[in-house]
Amino acid sequence: MAPPGIGNSSQCDVEFPTSSETSKNIVILDGGFATQLSCHVNDPIDGDVLWSARFLSTNPEAVINSHLDFLRAGADLIITNTYQANVKLFKEHLNITDKEAYDLIKKAVLLAKTAVARYMEEFPSPRRPLIVGSVGPYGASLHDGSEYNGSYASTTSVDVMREWHIPRIEALLEAGVDLLALETIPCRVEAEMLINLLKERYPKAKAWLSFSVGTDGKTTAFGEPFQQTARACYDLNPNQLVAIGVNCTAPRLIESLISGINDKRQKPIPLIVYPNSGESYNVEMGDDTTSYRWINRDKCEPVETYVSKWLDLGVTYIGGCCRTFAIDVTRIKREVEKWKLIRHIEI
Ligand SMILES: [Zn+2]
């Protein structure tokens, strides 16, 4: 079935899960927001200094429709279009005031709420999908890819990162998100700062923490041992963290990252995994369409082929990141349901 909007490739198709495919124990995330947004807009997204966040201002209806695609595809939650949202960046690149920039971040939550309301009208259910506020790393604002290597961790003070994060977190919470996604965080110093910030300033908020990681399947993007880092971060604030894990990395790297992470732990860490499609992003290539920059899709195993293995390893939050479409969310959900049937877990 074609999604609303101008979707122009089969990847933009949305499949609807059947009613028996409703999951209770495993939480299904959405997919790559900018990726699905590309089904609704013609303007370039990747390469823009504001990335998909620009469309909060220029095309709010496309933002709503992208969220709706994920809900119709079976997501239990949607993540706001605020990964790259930031008061300073909005001021600079949209030529607006501090207040307008702050309000634009709040508008992202409103657009997500609008999508949920429309979805609930289409498919009434006692279970409302959650709205999760995306909090991308400080490095995402530098526009140099450093959220994927964490290089700024050794040159930027914790205070600078903290002050940079506060306005967006405040706007998201003020606008009423259910949860925060501290995501694509490449380094321990920023992760710990965010966890402590929650504890000190927003003690009622809940969040998940998700790292960007290295290509060795063992470390954070900045090079710290992943499992040790994840365990230490979780133990800093288990009451406010709903899960810890990995996003925006190739699916083939996930198993070695999470395997054994809860061995010998009295209180297991709830795990979250939302990889990208495994394609490589090439900043040198093309500048006018999304697809020119992503290469080697044909060499990647689809995300859903890994699902049962990850669930066996204890993952409870599962979805997709860059280059995963709404149709991938449906496929992931189907694998979750299959896994539950095989394991005789009551649906
Ligand atoms: Zn991503």
3-state DSSP of 235-280: HHCCCCEEEEEEECCCHHHHHHHHCCCCCCCCCCCCEEEECCCCCE
With respect to residue 3, please indicate whether it lies within any of the assigned structural domains: no
Q: State how beta strands 130-135 and 77-79 pair.
A: parallel
Distance 53 CA to ligand 1 centre (A): 14
Distance (Å) from CA 35 to ligand 1 centroid: 9
| Span from the CA of 248 to the centroid of ligand 1 (angstroms) | 4
Rounded Cα gap, residues 260 and 76, in angstroms: 27
Residue 56 falls within a domain, yes or no?
Answer: yes
Please give the Cα distance from 104 to 56 (Å, whole number): 7
Asked whether 132 and 81 are in contact (CB, 8 A), the reply is: no
- Structural domain including 253 reads 10-342
The C-alpha angle with vertex 230 and arms to 228 and 231, in degrees rounded to 5, equals 65
How many structural domains does the chain have? Answer: 1
Q: List, in order, residues 6 or more apart from 49 with CB less than 8 Å away.
A: 89, 93, 143
On whether the CB atoms of residues 282 and 291 are closer than 8 A, the answer is no
Instruction: Check if the beta carbon of residue 21 is closer than 8 Å to that of residue 335.
Output: no
Q: How far is the CA of 342 from the centre of ligand 1 (A)?
A: 30
Alpha-carbon span 303 to 147, nearest angstrom: 22
Q: What is the CATH number of the domain that holds 15?
A: 3.20.20.330
User: Is 2 among the domain residues?
Assistant: no
CA 130/CA 9 separation, integer angstroms: 28
The continuous run of DSSP H or E covering 210 comes out as strand 207-211
List, in sequence order, every residue forming a beta bridge with 245; answer none if it has no partner. Answer: 210, 272
Residue 264 forms part of a structural domain:
yes
Q: For the beta carbon of residue 10, count every other beta carbon within 10 angstroms.
A: 9
C-alpha 215 to ligand 1 mean position (Å): 15
For residue 247, report the distance from its CA to the centre of ligand 1, in Å. Answer: 7
Query: Ligand 1 centroid vs 271 CA: distance in angstroms?
Result: 17
**305 secondary structure, DSSP code:** G
Q: What is the pTM of this model?
A: 0.90
pLDDT in tens, the chain (347 residues): 333 333 445 777 766 554 444 445 899 999 999 999 999 998 888 878 888 989 999 999 999 999 999 999 999 999 999 999 999 999 999 999 999 999 999 999 999 999 999 999 999 999 999 999 999 999 998 888 888 899 999 999 999 999 999 999 999 999 999 999 999 999 999 999 999 999 999 999 999 999 999 999 999 999 999 999 999 999 999 999 999 999 999 999 999 999 999 999 998 999 999 999 888 776 555 444 444 567 777 777 889 999 999 999 999 999 999 999 999 999 999 999 999 998 866 55
The binding site for Zn(2+) consists of: 248, 321-322
What one-letter code names the amino acid at 225?
A: P
Ligand 1 centroid vs 343 CA: distance in angstroms?
30
43 C-alpha to center of ligand 1: Å? 19
What's the gap in Å between 324 CA and the centre of ligand 1? 9
Residue 57 placed within a domain? yes
- Residues less than 5 Å from ion ligand 1, measured at CB: 248, 321-322
Annotated binding-site residue numbers? 248, 321-322
